[in-house]
Structure 1
Amino acid sequence: MLRRLRETGPVLLVPLAWVFATAAHLELLATRSVLVGHVVMSVLLFGFAVLSWGDMREHPVLRAWLAVIVLGFGVTLVGAYALATGRGAPLTTFAVFGWMLLPAVALGYTGRVLPREEGAWAYTLGGVLSGVGAVVFLSGVATLPALALAGVGQTVGIVTAVVEY
Structure 2
Amino acid sequence: MFRRIRETAPAGLVPLAWTFAIAAHLDLVTDRSVLIAHLVMDVLLVAFVVLSWTDMREGVLRAWRTVILAGIPVTLAGTAGLLAPGLGTTPVLASVVGWTLLPVPALVSTARASAGSARTVNGAAAALSLAGAAAYLAGVFVGGPADPALGPVVAGLALVGVGQTAGIVDAVVRY
TM-score by length of 1: 0.95
Contact 1:79–1:92 (8 Å) recurs in 2: yes
Identify the residue that residue 72 of structure 1 maps to in structure 2.
Answer: 71
TM-aligned CA distance change 1:27 to 1:88, over 3 Å: farther
Query: Is residue 2:147 matched to residue 1:137?
Result: no
Q: Which secondary structure state, in structure 2, belongs to the residue aligned with residue 119 of structure 1? A: helix
In the TM superposition, what whole-angstrom CA distance separates every residue of 1:85-144 from its partner, at most 9, and x where no partner exists? 0023211111000000001221112112x2314711100100100111111112224100
Q: Which secondary structure state, in structure 1, belongs to the residue aligned with residue 90 of structure 2? A: helix
- Structure 2 Cα separation of the partners of residues 61 and 120 of structure 1: 13
Identify the residue that residue 35 of structure 1 maps to in structure 2.
Answer: 35
Identify the residue that residue 172 of structure 2 maps to in structure 1.
Answer: 162
Matches within 5 A, 1:109-124: 109-112=109-112, 114-117=113-116, 119-124=118-123
Q: Once the 2 structures are TM-superposed, how far is the Cα of residue 69 of structure 1 from its aligned partner?
A: 0.5
- Structure 1 Cα separation of the partners of residues 117 and 132 of structure 2: 25
TM-score by length of 2: 0.90
- Structure 2 Cα separation of the partners of residues 108 and 136 of structure 1: 20
In the TM superposition, what whole-angstrom CA distance separates every residue of 1:18-64 from its partner, at most 9, and x where no partner exists? 0110111011111111011000001000000000000101x220011
CA RMSD, Structure 1 to Structure 2 (Å): 1.1
Identify the residue that residue 91 of structure 1 maps to in structure 2.
Answer: 91
- Structure 1 Cα separation of the partners of residues 130 and 159 of structure 2: 8
- Count of matched residue pairs: 163
Q: Once the 2 structures are TM-superposed, how far is the Cα of residue 73 of structure 1 from its aligned partner?
A: 1.0
Consecutive unaligned residues of structure 2, counting only runs of 5 or more, are 144-151
Contact 1:105–1:131 (8 Å) recurs in 2: no
TM-aligned CA distance change 1:98 to 1:89, over 3 Å: same
Greater Rg by CA: 2
Identify the residue that residue 22 of structure 1 maps to in structure 2.
Answer: 22
Contact 1:118–1:164 (8 Å) recurs in 2: no
Once superposed, which parts of structure 1, at least 4 consecutive aligned residues long, lie more than 6 Å away? none
The alignment-based identity, stated in percent, is 51
- Structure 2 Cα separation of the partners of residues 70 and 153 of structure 1: 21
